[in-house]
Every structure is written in C-alpha cells, then in structure tokens.
Amino acid sequence: MPDLSAVLARAAAGGRITPAEALALYVDAPLHALGSAADAVRRHRYPDGVATYLIDRNINYTNVCVTACRFCAFYRSPKHPEGWVRPLADILERCREAVDLGATQIMLQGGHHPDFGIEWYEQTFAAIRAAYPELALHSLGGSEVVHIARVSGLAFDEVIRRLRDAGLDSFAGAGAEILTERPRQAIAPLKETGAIWLQVMETAHGLGVESTATFMMGTGETNAERIEHLSMIRDVQDRTGGFRAFIPWTYQPENNHLKGRTQASALEYLRLVAVARLFFDTIAHIQGSWLTVGKDLGQLTLHFGADDLGSVMLEENVVSSAGARHRVNRAELIHLIRSAGRTPAQRDTLYRHLLVHDDPAQDPVGDSVHSHVSSTADGSAGPMASSASRLALEPV
C-alpha cells in the first residue's frame, strides 16, 4: 500500500501518479483529502477561478442501430416498427433553432444505421456547415468511424479525413463507455474493442481532429477496471495530446437490458472525478455531469477537481431514454457555478471564454435557454417543438 498522504501531496503539486497509486487513492484515500488535492490541481491550472458551461444541442439523426448495446434504451434494430431517420430538413431546422437560442455547438449522434456510409455523413455535415458556419460540429465518435469504415469499405484515416473535409470540427467521446475489455464485452459485445476505439482517436488526433474522452461508470466494472480505463486514455494522450477534456458520467438504468442491476453511487462518482483530475496531468479539462447525477452533485464536482459543468443541452434523447430526467436552464447553471465559489463563463467548443459572468447584475434573464426543450425520448413539446416537430421522421 503506497503512502496515501505522500501520493496526494505529490499529485496536488502537479506530479504524475501511477495507475496503482490512482487505484489506491480511489479506494482508500479519505474523501475530503482526495477532493482537496484535486481542487488544488484545479486551482493551479485555473487560478482565475472560472468554471465554464456551454450552450449546445444534441441532434439524433436515427435510432436505428446494429450494435445493440445492452445499456442503451434509445436504439431500435433495423426493420423495427419504431425505427426512424431524421430528414436533413429537420436536422437543419434544429440547427437554426439552436443558433437562435445562442448555441455554439452541435453534437450530431445516432445509431449505427446499416445503410449509412461516408456519403450520408458528408452530405449532412456539408449542409450544416454551409447553412450555419458559426456552429462547431463536435459530433460522432470512434464507434461511428468504425461503423462507417465497415459500411463504406474504407480505412479509418480515410473516413476521418472525409468527415473533416465535409465540416467535422472535432469528435465527441461517444462510444467509449468503458474501454477495459471484460466489462466492455459484457455490455457491448458487438461494438469495437476499447483498443480499436483508442486507435481511431489516435488516428484522428494525428490528422488534426481533436476529441474528448468519456467514461460511463456503473455497469458492473470493478474499481481496478475503472482505473484501467483512465490509464488507457492517458497512454494515448501522452502520445497525441488530442483529448481536450475527460467527461465521466453514470449509467442510467431504465428501459435497457441491464435493468439497473449495477450502478455507481454518488460517492463513487465524486471520487472518480477527483482521481481523474489527479491522474490526467496532460488533459486540460474535467467536466462534471449534472445530466446523469443531478444538479446538486454536479455542483459538488466543482470542489473535486472539475472546471466545467457541461452544457445547457437544448436537446438530449439518448441518456434521457434510459431515465436521466434532470433539467437545467442557463440561469440555473450560472447560479450553480457561482454558488460553488466560481466565476461562471460561457465557453465554446475549444474552451475559449465567450462571456464571463463576473457581475451578477449583468446575468442573462429569462429561461428560454433551457435543456430538453424538445425531446423524442419523452414526447415533450417545448418552445422549439412547434416548428421542428412538424417535420415528420422518416420510418425505416
């Protein structure tokens, strides 16, 4: 057993810790000491005390998927009567609405449709880029690249180049779930291995397409497997420097085959956030997830090493399908950050500050910018549904 106090002191001062030390901290370090060390790293990196948020929209282009992950409540198999494809006109309308509400980023994600090769994505990205050049396309992920490569008979690097040239700015961390082999095989046996997911990301970084890295915790993985996931990401980051942020979130238990038999507790999540901040000495940003753990726990992550509280998320359907019902508007997100003792700032995809809310008297008013204003997951009809919902989904 390493000397935990010595490891915490070294990590808090910016020193590198090993995977074995990270595991020891995750399992045995006193909670407050662990959080204090992670917060010290955060303060050293961001002495201005700013914590950021984003305004973006997740647009799902299809729920048809051949991968059939056991944790997913969103997908439908090919030929399923509830399968659909969102028309390009609908996607563009949702982009327009997002721009009108101040969004700076679109996350285009969907199922692995058996008929969608590289041409579908090129046409879609090019159309969005032409109509809304101000929107950053932070979309897809390693799993989509593997699927497109298979459908179109292309190498990973060719898929990435063509997506980039069509308008993709960066990859989301989608599809990572857990990269460690045993639990990944248990929850997503038809998906690419964690090693291949990382290979795609490393290839993308080499082609100038950066990404985020994520972790869905709570599907039955061991503590050691959680730290192995972090270690696999750091190994790639040491070679490429292409991961902008690490975003852990918790598995949601409803409407999927896992049925919530295993979940991550609030303390497990907070400890993971803190260990991630100490372990990822080469990843700039750690994001807390209010969507899956709730606003109060999301706010607490700002005391455990996180410097970003994610996005207002104008639309989200995938995680919501599995039971994530937390909602937030822009004013609430600003309040959460400020009441945690941080200065709130709206950022863009590159983490550049667009608007620093250093004077509460100048805060935005109203709640028109709020999450999940229109959701295919729960059938809600918010302010944005009036136009977008009139564009019928195409059944498949």
pLDDT of residue 222: 95
pTM recorded for the entire structure: 0.89
Question: Does residue 93 belong to any structural domain of this protein?
Answer: yes
Question: Does residue 127 belong to any structural domain of this protein?
Answer: yes
Domain of residue 160 covers 51-391
Q: Which CATH number belongs to the domain containing residue 332 in this structure? A: 3.20.20.70
Mean pLDDT of the 328-339 span: 89
Rounded-to-integer distance, Cα 327 and Cα 344, Å: 18
Q: Which one-letter amino acid corresponds to residue 117?
A: G
Number of domains within the chain: 1
CB atoms within 10 A of CB 125: 23
Burial class (CB in 10 A: 0-12, 13-18, 19+), 134: exposed
Question: Does residue 9 belong to any structural domain of this protein?
Answer: no
Residue 171 pLDDT > 80: yes
The pLDDT tens digits of the residues spanning 11-61 come to 999 999 999 999 999 999 999 999 999 999 999 999 999 999 999 998 989
Rounded-to-integer distance, Cα 176 and Cα 76, Å: 20
Question: Does residue 211 belong to any structural domain of this protein?
Answer: yes
| 140, containing H or E segment | strand 136-141
Q: Using pLDDT thresholds of 50, 70 and 90, give the confidence band for residue 251.
A: confident
Question: Does residue 78 belong to any structural domain of this protein?
Answer: yes
Question: Does residue 34 belong to any structural domain of this protein?
Answer: no
User: What Cα–Cα distance (Å) separates residue 177 from each residue in 248, 252, 356, 393, 394?
Assistant: 9, 12, 32, 28, 29
Rounded-to-integer distance, Cα 312 and Cα 68, Å: 28
Question: Does residue 44 belong to any structural domain of this protein?
Answer: no
Question: Does residue 46 belong to any structural domain of this protein?
Answer: no
Tokens of 207: 């082609």
